[in-house]
Amino acid sequence: MKIYTRRNAALGYLTLQAAKHNLNKRRQKRSALRTSAYVGLGLMSAGVLAAVLFVVLRRWHGDDVEAASFAGDDIVGEYVTAPEPIPAA
């Protein structure tokens, strides 16, 4: 009985071609997933950069309301009043 026949050769050839085709499809799928992951990371980093830039520009221009509220002194009219001391426990 012969192992190498036309039928076995054709079946082996078709099997190899199908495996190569599946490998190429898998690579394309991975490439698409990788590209979408890179785009997502790029958008996230751009958002973080924009937020940091916003905070830096806001502090640089002196429009930070929160920093002004922690100044410690309240101005009422023309008088400057010190904050009331916290009673000792």
* Alpha-carbon span 57 to 44, nearest angstrom: 20
Q: In sequence order, what are the residues at sequence separation of 6 or more whose Cβ sits closer than 8 angstroms to the Cβ of residue 64?
A: 58
pTM of the model: 0.39
Residue 34 and residue 42: Cα distance in Å, rounded? 12
**pLDDT at position 42:** 93
| pLDDT tens-digit readout, 42-76 | 999 999 999 999 998 888 877 545 555 555 555 55
What is the C-alpha to C-alpha distance for residues 8 and 36, in angstroms, rounded to an integer? 42
Q: What is the pLDDT of residue 24?
A: 77
**40: confidence class by pLDDT, cuts 50, 70, 90:** very high
Per-residue model confidence (pLDDT) at position 34: 84
| Distance of alpha carbon 89 from the chain centroid | 47
